[in-house]
Structure 1
Amino acid sequence: MSRWAGWARWVVTGWALLGAWGVGAQEAAAPPPLPAEVIAHLRQLVELGLEQPDEALRRLRSEPVSPESRPWLRYTEARIQLSRGNLAAVRTLYPSAQPPADALALHVRALLARREGQSERAAAWVDQAMAVVSPLCPTPIPEAAAQREACPLPLWVDLVALATRQGLAQGGGAAGLERIERAMAWARQRRAVDLQAQLYLERADFHQVHDEAAKVDATLTEALALPGLSTRRRVLLLNYQAGMAAQRDQRPRQGELLEEALELALADKQLRLAAVLRGNLADFHVHQGRPKEARQLAELALPVLQRFDDVSEPAVRHNLALALIDERAFDAARSQLARLQEMPTQERVAERAAGLRELGDAWARAGQYKEALALFHAERKLMQAHQAQAKEQALEEVRQSLGSAQKEAELALAKSSNEVTQQTLENQDTLRQVAVAAGVLLALCLGLGGMFWMRARVAFRKLRHNQDLLKALSERDALTGLANRRQFHAVMAARGAQALEGSLVLIDIDHFKRINDGHGHAGGDVVIKTMADRLSQAVRDGDMVVRWGGEEYLVYAPTLKGTYTKQWVERLMPVLCGTPITLPDGHTLDVTCSMGFVTLPIPPLGVTLGWERALNWADLALYAAKNRGRRRAIGIAGLHVNDEVSLAQVESDFDGAASAARLSLVQVLASPAGG
């Protein structure tokens, strides 16, 4: 995808998610009680502030002030200031030196923390606020009017949305659906249609993350049928539907939904919302090969988004850069990308990597291979760093598990030791009184000592087992069972400084992101596992197969040399890509791959390389295969230079070296998938 403004999920929490304070331990209070209609009115001012912040603030300052309303008025002003990107005003209203007094302050601080990318801190604020507000909105809904009036429903709905999203981002979120349904019951009881629509969007997001497409569609259909739905909420729902259509590669449907949403937004004078929709339409036209239309839409959207310091501005600039590249306006595209690089981002690593890949593909289509290659390596570096961090987190969890096991062993030893000591003291006292009991006491001590020894042995056996588990987890990929980077690095380290011999083959599944977008992560995992199984069956004894990261694999064949490597790749290609893969949803996919390979020493001069450099050359060959249309393998068959300066020049201009006959390449084309 290009960059898609995740509007439906983001607007409902207040347009901008901002902030950054330390999370204090002091327990915050419940928000002061106000009549439900007053809270609903203040929520309408927050909604007005999304488009007209100055007018919303003017109306807010004319509201009557009382001890009960003052915290709510301050909270509403902070939400409006958030919508215009005025962080200084928000921090004046809620100074960081002051602990949050109530759930309203906790919510504002959570929004601020999310804006600054401090997700853990935001989660802590949200959890504290939920603990305060949730008891005020119990289910079943109380019959007593006074108890029902105590529920600050708009605040609770916003907190439920944030808490649910945090759970989904952390890979869980099972409790999220139950919270959504509880809040939905209250919204229906209050006949709060727009709050219902907000919760429908959260429910749709929950089902989307869990690859439940039919439930996503049913949820959105129910939401659009709500009587009395505001234009803004209808537009947000249509935008979300368009996003789902894009993920399912239903591009015509995506365009229709976005055009309908834009028409409604403009008719309702929702200019900021219209700017976000224009940015999403720019994404649509980029994918449809219409860069002129994409550029015009992005240029219309950007001034409005800049005025509000809108978080979707980076996505729109990204789409504008893609359109400019396709129009061959390279200097203008570089200018947009330079501005984009200066902007903070809230994107996850996978989204940033997809953006780099998309820009690299655009530069390659335009024949600008220097930029394309730089982005290719930037994407790879980003993913490698992310995978290293994820692996370290997993290892830390295992280390903590080991630490717990060791502590259990130490506690068992200490407990047993205390028992022995206590019993010995008692025995000594008894011994002074009854000498004949000495033998009995000795037997008792021996028994306790034996029991202590057995318990210690069991504890240390468990510790040793966990250490073995740590080693296994650190060297194998959990999904495929293949070796991982760590194990490959260990094998290479064992070789010492000697030059590498044999063949390195890098394999990359073509268009894997489309598989993930169209069939969910479960479908993507099946493809990765199936390709790994096929690869494992195709290699020879002594070869090492590594899941190199994401959709990439590495084969190290230490005894595969000369022209035999090309012959082996010719046999491997149909094994990997010749049979369609059946997914959990019943679809079958023709999956293809690209490969890059190098055999060492490289003929005819017998050039030798260290393993890291050899891997980089295989990487360059893989990039050449992808750049020439994928579904093929490119191998380095010959190298006609042997000095360090010339080798560095080949690395910096791989295609140029091939054209200048300093480098000889061979190509293996894949047969049609399924054929």
Structure 2
Amino acid sequence: MNRRLLVFLLSLCAPLLAQAETRLAAALDRELDRELSHLVARAYDRPDAALEALQALRQSRPAGNALGFTLAEGQILVHRGDIQGAEAIAGILEGEPQGQALGLLLRALIADRLGRRAEAAELARASLQSLEAGCRDQGLAQAIERGQCEFRAVWSALRVLEREQSAQGRLAEAESILRRSLALAQAGADRHLSAISLNRLAVLSQDQDQPDAARRWLIAAQEQAKELPGTLARVKQSEAIVASKRGDAQGVLNGYEEALALAQQADAPRTEAQIRVNLADLHMHSGRPALAVREARLALPVVLAFKDLRLERTLRHNLAVALLLQRQFEAARRELVRAEQLARELPDPARRAEELREIGHAWASSGQAREAITVFHAERELSAQIHASQREAQMQQLQLKYDSERKQRDLELLTRERSLKDQQLANHAMAQGVGLALAVLLGLSLVLVVVMLQRVRAANRQLKANQQLLRAQSERDPLTDLANRRHFLAVMQQQSEQLFAGGLLMIDIDHFKHVNDQHGHAAGDAVIREVAQRIRSSVRDQDLVVRWGGEEFLVFTPNVEPADLARLAERVLNSVGSQPVATDNGPLRVTVSIGFAHFPLPPAKLRQHWEQAVNWADMVLYTAKAQGRNQAVGLAAVDARDAAVLSEIEADFDAACRSQRVRLQHIPGP
């Protein structure tokens, strides 16, 4: 009897014991996952120590999550820059029945580390198809608690996607991804991942001109990073970046200095190196090249040790510019060679154009006009390619929108025609009984047909008008309402087979980058609009004013005499520089540099294509910039008897100026 009672009681307790065992196993798995996550985060700055700790943890927990250990090892190798080892780990994961998605995630992290953002995003999306299955918005915390949602793996994949979207300028999509990753980190109570997501949301909000939102995100990030010095250092770094985008120079410096102290306290060399790279960039743009060189040289050994190519590219570029500003040309050239190699390995056209612009300004500031002109030409060619690509994308979007609207109109027309036919059939049925009604209905049908035909003709007229409007809009610059390059090229096509004749003024706003860096992009846009208006009001009605790109403008003046062209250049100089430009940050004094020339070039009047004419005006402009800015420099005469001599002069313009084969006219600004 006692034996039977004991068996009965054991049968009742068995399910409860099984449930308790399951809950204990889940709790142990969650604890192991937290420990692995801590080691991966630690590996960002100390990968070797993290790898040793991982091996010790694996030996102490032989029955632990094998896939979790393998993924963590791969992530640590990625942080260390051991790409070959990480790829081997990815192959191991992909060979496991449940490890395919984790293998794809690790390959996405590898591609992202190497700067191959498009490939990384594609791999991340493929991994998310499996990883996100257990992470639904409803009951997310419960799914994580039960081990159904590998939220840290999903967070890492989303981080890769956000980088790719931000790099392409799709800020709204990037913000949506970041909010999803933040929800995961908060549901999993991971303060480090929450702080990183909040960091990025702050920077992204500032990029979208939402300063209040950026401030709120930063406060929340600091709250999450409490008692985590390494994470807090990265929060302070983001705070400095946001201050930079707001134009708060003192806030930038304070943020980086606080971040540096925290990184040193946390013994985080890689984070410290990142901050020093940013400090070098700050000092370089603030006119402190010696401090920029010092910070860059302190960061360089750490960056090289981690094989961080993206950070090395930024560091080499800043170091090269700072050395140029110190006139250490040989050392600068060595850094430029390495920076250019990294730019080829990590293609990013927009970033490369900005780098070339800064290098060109540095060459010009150090008095090396020839190198400055070469770099400026390379930058202009790359910017033209970027603008063409952006214009093509915009035209495709407009065409898609137009096609959609046209299809909608066609659908509405077909619906109306079907309704008309239905009405006609009903009228015909009624007309069988009543002859008079038939006549009336037939007359009504004819009237309706006439009305519909008139509407069709009106729709066609509206369609043609929309096409003409679209073509006109594509040839205007949206910021200044001036003609753009597309319109200028259309005008020049009429002269392609003729001798180019007339005057050209190439105009560049002096030190415009300082306006953007110190006062923000809103002030920069206000300056561009006001300068465009002043140029337009200074020239004749028949002159064509073009926004050539960025802070540059081109004026084409047909049927003008050389003396009148010089007076026109002087009028533009005084119109722009005589009065400050009003901005939200207060009045700014703005001046321009101008290169002008009258074609055919005197005295030989040699035949030239319009593209050559623009290049001559461009060379004279950069002579004006290299000789101090706030002035106009014009081509008074070119000693060339034929096209071959003219090409020689064009190939080495500086030498021709020194030998008096090219005579220049100088007009000082106000």
TM-score by length of 1: 0.80
- Distance in 2 between the 1:173 and 1:385 partners? 22
Residue 477 (structure 1) aligns with: 477
Residue 16 (structure 2) aligns with: none
Give the residue type in structure 2 aligned to 1:532. A
Secondary structure at the aligned position of 1:546 is classed as: strand
- Distance in 1 between the 2:622 and 2:320 partners? 22
Per the TM alignment, residue 549 of structure 1 is displaced from its structure 2 partner at its CA by 1.1
Secondary structure at the aligned position of 2:494 is classed as: helix
Q: Is the 8 A contact 1:194 1:229 kept in 2?
A: no
- Distance in 1 between the 2:444 and 2:110 partners? 65
Among 199, 202, 208, the alignment partner of 2:200 is: 202
Residue 487 (structure 1) aligns with: 487
Residue 45 (structure 2) aligns with: 51
Change (3 A) 1:535 1:266: same
Identity %, equivalent residues: 35
Change (3 A) 1:532 1:642: same
Q: How does 1:9-408 map to 2 (within 5 A)?
A: 35-61=29-55, 62-63=57-58, 64=61, 69-94=65-90, 104=102, 107-108=105-106, 110-112=108-110, 114=112, 115-119=114-118, 122=121, 125-126=124-125, 129=128, 133=132, 136=135, 138=137, 152-155=150-153, 157-158=155-156, 161=159, 168-169=166-167, 171=169, 173-174=171-172, 192-213=190-211, 216=214, 219-220=217-218, 223-224=221-222, 228-244=226-242, 254=252, 257-287=255-285, 294-310=292-308, 311-343=310-342, 344=344, 346=346, 348-408=348-408
Change (3 A) 1:572 1:262: same
More moved, 269-278 vs 483-492: 269-278
Give the residue type in structure 1 aligned to 2:33. I
Change (3 A) 1:604 1:41: same
Residue 21 (structure 1) aligns with: none
Per the TM alignment, residue 560 of structure 1 is displaced from its structure 2 partner at its CA by 2.2
- 1:509-558 deviation digits (Å, cap 9, x = unpaired): 22222222333333322222222222222221211111111111111110
Per the TM alignment, residue 627 of structure 1 is displaced from its structure 2 partner at its CA by 1.0
Residue 8 (structure 1) aligns with: none
Per the TM alignment, residue 494 of structure 1 is displaced from its structure 2 partner at its CA by 1.5
Residue 7 (structure 2) aligns with: none
Q: Is the 8 A contact 1:658 1:664 kept in 2?
A: yes
Give the residue type in structure 2 aligned to 1:392. E
- 1:257-281 deviation digits (Å, cap 9, x = unpaired): 5455445434543223333334334
Secondary structure at the aligned position of 2:559 is classed as: coil
Residue 29 (structure 1) aligns with: none
Change (3 A) 1:435 1:555: same
Per the TM alignment, residue 447 of structure 1 is displaced from its structure 2 partner at its CA by 7.2
Secondary structure at the aligned position of 1:581 is classed as: coil
Residue 630 (structure 1) aligns with: 629
Residue 10 (structure 1) aligns with: none
Secondary structure at the aligned position of 2:621 is classed as: helix
TM-score by length of 2: 0.81
- Distance in 1 between the 2:232 and 2:260 partners? 11
Q: Is the 8 A contact 2:432 2:438 kept in 1?
A: no
Give the residue type in structure 1 aligned to 2:582. T
Per the TM alignment, residue 33 of structure 1 is displaced from its structure 2 partner at its CA by 11
Give the residue type in structure 1 aligned to 2:230. R
Change (3 A) 1:400 1:76: same
- Distance in 1 between the 2:27 and 2:606 partners? 79
More moved, 564-573 vs 127-136: 127-136
- Distance in 2 between the 1:457 and 1:215 partners? 50
Residue 13 (structure 2) aligns with: none
Per the TM alignment, residue 133 of structure 1 is displaced from its structure 2 partner at its CA by 3.9
- Distance in 2 between the 1:53 and 1:165 partners? 23
Residue 6 (structure 1) aligns with: none
Q: Is the 8 A contact 1:477 1:484 kept in 2?
A: yes
Secondary structure at the aligned position of 1:664 is classed as: strand
Change (3 A) 1:39 1:561: farther
Per the TM alignment, residue 661 of structure 1 is displaced from its structure 2 partner at its CA by 1.3
Q: Is the 8 A contact 1:405 1:463 kept in 2?
A: no
Change (3 A) 1:513 1:489: same
- Distance in 2 between the 1:188 and 1:97 partners? 29
Secondary structure at the aligned position of 2:650 is classed as: helix
Residue 17 (structure 2) aligns with: none
Q: Is the 8 A contact 2:499 2:607 kept in 1?
A: yes
Per the TM alignment, residue 181 of structure 1 is displaced from its structure 2 partner at its CA by 6.3
Q: How does 1:517-528 map to 2 (within 5 A)?
A: 517-528=517-528
User: Which gives a bigger RCO, structure 1 or 2 (Cα 8 Å, sep 6+)?
Assistant: 1
- Distance in 2 between the 1:87 and 1:225 partners? 35
Per the TM alignment, residue 218 of structure 1 is displaced from its structure 2 partner at its CA by 6.0
Per the TM alignment, residue 379 of structure 1 is displaced from its structure 2 partner at its CA by 0.9
Q: How does 1:420-439 map to 2 (within 5 A)?
A: none
Q: Is the 8 A contact 1:137 1:148 kept in 2?
A: no
Per the TM alignment, residue 435 of structure 1 is displaced from its structure 2 partner at its CA by 12
More moved, 172-181 vs 76-85: 172-181
Secondary structure at the aligned position of 1:588 is classed as: coil
Per the TM alignment, residue 297 of structure 1 is displaced from its structure 2 partner at its CA by 4.3
Change (3 A) 1:431 1:59: farther
Per the TM alignment, residue 570 of structure 1 is displaced from its structure 2 partner at its CA by 1.6
Give the residue type in structure 2 aligned to 1:56. A
Per the TM alignment, residue 647 of structure 1 is displaced from its structure 2 partner at its CA by 1.4
Per the TM alignment, residue 431 of structure 1 is displaced from its structure 2 partner at its CA by 12
Secondary structure at the aligned position of 2:562 is classed as: coil
- 1:111-148 deviation digits (Å, cap 9, x = unpaired): 45544444487279459839964983648976x69768
Give the count of matched residue pairs: 637
- Distance in 1 between the 2:487 and 2:215 partners? 44
More moved, 302-311 vs 318-327: 318-327
- 1:284-324 deviation digits (Å, cap 9, x = unpaired): 45456665554454344333322322020111122332344
Residue 22 (structure 1) aligns with: none
Give the residue type in structure 2 aligned to 1:77. E
- Distance in 2 between the 1:561 and 1:554 partners? 18
- 1:473-526 deviation digits (Å, cap 9, x = unpaired): 221112222111111111111134212222111111222222223333333222
Secondary structure at the aligned position of 1:634 is classed as: strand
Q: Is the 8 A contact 1:130 1:156 kept in 2?
A: no
Give the residue type in structure 1 aligned to 2:657. A
Structure 1 position 588 matched with structure 2 position 587: yes
Q: Is the 8 A contact 1:139 1:182 kept in 2?
A: no
- Distance in 2 between the 1:476 and 1:277 partners? 41
Q: Is the 8 A contact 2:135 2:143 kept in 1?
A: no
- Distance in 1 between the 2:637 and 2:221 partners? 63
Greater share of helix residues, 1 or 2?
2
Gaps of 5+ in 1: 1-31
Secondary structure at the aligned position of 2:666 is classed as: strand
Change (3 A) 1:113 1:410: farther
Q: Is the 8 A contact 2:327 2:366 kept in 1?
A: yes
- Distance in 1 between the 2:471 and 2:192 partners? 53
Q: Is the 8 A contact 2:247 2:520 kept in 1?
A: no
